[in-house]
Chain A
Amino acid sequence: MNVRTYPLLATVAIFLVAYAACYAQFPAMLSTRVIGNLLTDNAYLGITAVGMTIVILSGGIDLSVGSVIAFSGVFIAVVLRDTGLHPLPVFAMLLIITTAFGAAMGGLIHGLAMPPFIVTLAGMFLARGAGYMLTIDSVPIDHPFYELIDDAYWLMPGRGRFTLIGGLMLVSVLAGMIIAHRTRFGASVFALGGGEQTARLMGVKTGRTTVLIYAFSGFMAGLSGIVFSIYTGSGYPLATVGTELTAIAAVVIGGTLLTGGAGYVFGTLVGVMTMGLIQTYIVFDGSLSSWWTKIVIGALLLFFIVLQKGILRLSVAGGAMAGAGR
């Protein structure tokens, strides 16, 4: 078996063991209500984490997503408040803006040969600032279309709600899996993550790929912003502060190598669900404080990073042994 799948297997195993442990203590954890809420509550995080996975697979990082989500919510709320437009054209406008924003960051990263970290940091300030400039208040969204979406769910057996936004997240993950693992663009992303120089020698158009990667992440952040505005029913420029780090943590817990070049989009979904599970457990328990979430996520991060480090050493040693055998 491929050593590279170990982190993914470990993620899945940890999720299942954790779920079993939660179930043993609170049998209600397995009800469709909890599962439905797990999907709905983490929908915006899951969607943006798919974009982040592609970015991290390419060896980059995108710190702007949290701000872009907040900007999206504010943009939708303000445009709906001030004009008589239907939400759908507003969504389309927003997705064009965030995709172009991501593409511009990708262009800067490639054109200036600057670290993605600092370019997307500037993007983070810019998106958050743009949100502040639209409004500094929380703007409620009051539109019949939003009520329609809110009521769009499938009542699962056991009275759990499988909502539209939860479904949208699963579709996004599926789309991300196809893009990353089954397309030429995905192959270019993995190649770029393996090393820019080698990728270029292999014939990957590095500039075009970099722009597309960040454009994709911008698109996903915009989509996530739409979902977040549906979830909260408002737009607030101070919302989702730090979501970029939660998304990065979910990607790492999902078994993707932060140096790029190895990982699975599906793992990210498991990572998001694991973090959601921790929060659900704390809610169920009632006596634990919410700060334990942060500590447990930190510990999980450490565990996965050290695990990956060990696997990398193993695979390097394995490669060396295979080389000696030949």
Chain B
Amino acid sequence: MMSRTLRRIAPQLVTLAVLAALISVVFPGFLEISVSDGRLVGPVIDILKRGATVALLAIGMTLVIATRGIDLSVGATIAITGAVAAWSISNGLGLAGALSLAIAVGLVAGLWNGVLVAIIGIQPIVATLILMTAGRGVAQLITEGRILTFSHDGLAFLGSGDVLGIPVPALLWPVTGIAVALLMRRTALGLLIEAIGINRRASALAGINARLLLIAVYMTSGLCAALAGIITAADIRGADANNAGLWLELDAILAVVIGGNSLMGGRFSVAASLFGAMIIQTIDTGILLAGFPSEYNLVIKAALVVAILVLQSPRLASTWIYWGMRLRNRRAADAARIREAGE
């Protein structure tokens, strides 16, 4: 079991190692971690912290994409939940109230998407486009168009505090990821979700309650977006309805794709997506550390996506399998000939 997971995430680990080596060449102190004021500091810790939002989104997105769906609304959900958290903390609802309200709103956003996809039967990309467009308007309605700031140490702790020297966001995503991965793999849930992604009709005929599961998957995505929204708002001690989570849905989708998960649904790996998110953040941070102007960031990202697409292409894969089979057949024929010659 362990070795199979390792083999699955090997390409992502190798990519990360290569990236780390490349950056270390240009910026020698890349892997150094030191302790200052009882906290760990260093580029690696920074990546783990800054990559938290995309990593959290990637967890939910992995499940959605495994059902052959896509969730474009997560960026807008970050804006809404961040606004809700900031609004409720500054209206004296307390930390528990603010957190539970924000998470509830995230779940409702997911429920909305899920109902549109699973019950009304709208394509996921369109269904989630609605909330993506309208969501930022809703968030601005809550913040009344301003940047809603707050001063509450409890909430700010979630964004900039640390536990045992490790920043809280850097702890939050691994914990969420492991919890979701365990839930998927220690129960049959993961298998059922893969079945829906491969063929929804067949899975329904096999007795899977596809509707309920689809709604649950989109709600999980909403929940992850709510967590990301809370740490985004907590980090800057304010909610910015215009810019919070802007275009993060695309980064999250990219993380899932870099994680080797097919956009056509089916088999998925949450761990691989998380490493995908870390790869994206390492590239972002690495480009800055290496002293490149950040303008190169997008072009490098685009080149990376194309390279990964070529490697993942179903058409190329079938060609490779074809050549692999021919090679194997020829070897077998050669072996048979040698054996005949021997006799």
Contact = CB atoms under 8 A, between A and B. Distances in A.
A136 interface: yes
B80 to A, nearest CB: 12
Interface string B130-157: 1111111110110001000000000000
Given A289-B140, A302-B130, A117 B70 contact: yes
A28 B15 CA distance: 61
B253 A118 contact: yes
A128 B263 contact: no
Contacts of A259: 123
Interface stretch (B197-205, B213-221, B295-303, B333-341): B295-303
B309 A128 contact: no
Interface string A101-136: 000000010011111011101111110111011001
Interface string B102-145: 00000000000000000011110111011111111110110001
Contacts of A129: 295-302
B28 interface: no
B316 interface: yes
A118 B123 contact: no
Nearest to B317: A113
A208 interface: no
Interface size band for B: 35 or more
A305 B122 contact: yes
B172 interface: no
A81 to B, nearest CB: 18
Given A118-B305, A249-B133, A289-B140, A111 B125 contact: no
B231 interface: no
A119 B302 CA distance: 9
Contact of A258 (B123, B253, B300): B123
Interface string A288-326: 010111110111011001100100000000000000000
B84 to A, nearest CB: 16
Interface in A216-260: 245, 248-249, 252, 258-259
Interface string A74-110: 0000000000000000000000000000000000100
A61 interface: yes
B165 interface: no
A294 B295 contact: no
A54 B301 CA distance: 28
A133 B293 CA distance: 9
Nearest to A122: B305
Contacts, number: 120
Contacts of B127: 305
Interface of A is mostly: helix
Interface in B279-336: 293, 295-303, 305-306, 309-310, 312-316
B25 interface: no
B254 interface: yes
B298 A132 contact: yes
Contact of B120 (A126, A128, A136, A306): A306
B129 A301 contact: yes
B122 A122 contact: no
Contacts of A249: 129, 133
B111 to A, nearest CB: 15
A305 B125 CA distance: 12
Given A112-B310, A113-B315, A133 B134 contact: no
Contacts of A291: 136-137, 140-141, 145, 241
Contacts of A132: 295-296, 298-299
A18 B342 CA distance: 89
Contact of B299 (A112, A126, A248, A302): A126
Contact of B121 (A112, A125, A298, A309): A309
B309 to A, nearest CB: 5
Given A294-B133, A294-B137, A117 B126 contact: no
Contacts of B303: 126
B10 interface: no
Given A292-B137, A295-B138, A297-B133, A108 B298 contact: no
A118 B253 CA distance: 9
Given A121-B254, A122-B305, A125-B301, A305 B295 contact: no
A309 B263 contact: no
B197 to A, nearest CB: 14
B142 to A, nearest CB: 10
B248 interface: no
Contact of A298 (B70, B137, B314): B137
B120 A309 contact: yes
Contacts of A126: 298-299, 302-303
A299 B136 CA distance: 13
Nearest to B121: A309
Contacts of B171: none
Interface string A277-293: 00000000000010111
A115 B253 CA distance: 13
Nearest to B298: A129
Contact of B309 (A114, A133, A136, A299): A114
13 contacts: A114-B263, A115-B263, A117-B125, A118-B263, A123-B302, A128-B298, A129-B296, A129-B298, A132-B298, A136-B295, A249-B133, A298-B135, A305-B127
Interface of B: 70, 120-123, 125-127, 129-138, 140-141, 145, 241, 250, 253-254, 257, 263-264, 293, 295-303, 305-306, 309-310, 312-316
Closest 5 CB pairs of A and B: A298-B134, A129-B298, A294-B137, A129-B299, A132-B295
Given A126-B303, A136-B295, A249-B129, 4 more contacts: A114-B309, A298-B133, A301-B129, A301-B133
